[in-house]
Amino acid sequence: MNDFFNKDSFAMRFLTELCNLIIVNILFMLTCIPIVTIGASLSALYRVTFAIHCKEEVTVVRTYFKTFKSSFKQATLLWVPSFIAFAFFIYEILLILFILDPSYKMTQIPVWFMLILILSVWIYSFPMIGLYEQPLKQTLKNSVILAVSNLPVTISTIVVKGGIIFISLKYPTWGVIIGSFFLLFGFGLSSFVTAFFLKKIFEKYGSLSPYDENEPEFMTLDSADYDTDEEGLKEESETEDPWDAL
């Protein structure tokens, strides 16, 4: 029984991570209410789930709102126009499938391409905004490159999440069940699973190293070159950002 309450035991780690996912799920839903803040909310959500993957004792509320604030400008600049474009292309698909003459069916191909492109950029860009400090232009460039160079992860993420939405809309009973699940911790769990794969991809270009005892600082330095000495950190920070090599 004593082992069960040990903070390093599997049971306690599982319960702690579950509670963190429930808390960050609530924060995410609350900050998404204005809709225009969804981009910053996604960046903050991924920052917390990456922190959980790094096995750090992260303060969920503090980390979430700190990242939400720091990434708000970039994430919003990306989210608002891309969401408008996404909604427009969805409208185009519905128009082609249900309104226009069947002879126009083939015109949906470029529209689907644009939808997939937007979704692919979202998968990588919002986590990167929450984890790294780099210009938005560089983030978009890296997102496209990573989406293409990691097609299995990109396509599987789109298919799985798109499939969940399709099932929820197609079958009302399942929609209620899935909706209840997401209200509890579904958004947090979804980002947690996605972060598992993204973490492996991001670590190819930069390490995820703890900088603060309460909140992990996601570095773009190579782990082999990381020096805890303050002077060493200053020298390393002047080296070329590995993301620029993409």
Q: What is the tens place of the pLDDT at every residue in 165-197?
A: 999 989 999 999 999 999 988 999 999 999 999
Instruction: Work out the pLDDT band at 97, boundaries 50, 70, 90.
Output: confident
163 alpha carbon, distance to own chain's centre: 18
* Residue-level pLDDT at 65: 95
Per-residue pLDDT tens for 22-73? 999 999 999 999 999 999 999 999 999 999 888 767 789 999 999 999 999 9
Which pTM value belongs to this model? 0.80
Indicate the number of domains in the chain.
Answer: 1
Look at residue 100 and tell me if it is in a domain: yes
Q: Which domain holds residue 122?
A: 10-245
- What pLDDT sits at residue 124? 95
Bridge partners (DSSP) listed for residue 217: 209
Residue 12 has pLDDT above 70, yes or no: yes
In a domain, 160, yes or no: yes
Q: Which pLDDT score is estimated for 101?
A: 80
In a domain, 3, yes or no: no
Residue 195 near residue 231 (C-beta atoms within 8 A): no
H-type alpha helices, 132-218: 136-149, 151-170, 172-181, 187-202
Would 1 be classed as within a structural domain? no
DSSP letter assigned to residue 212: S
227: in domain? yes
- Write the single-letter amino acid at 49: T
Does residue 168 lie in a domain region?
Answer: yes
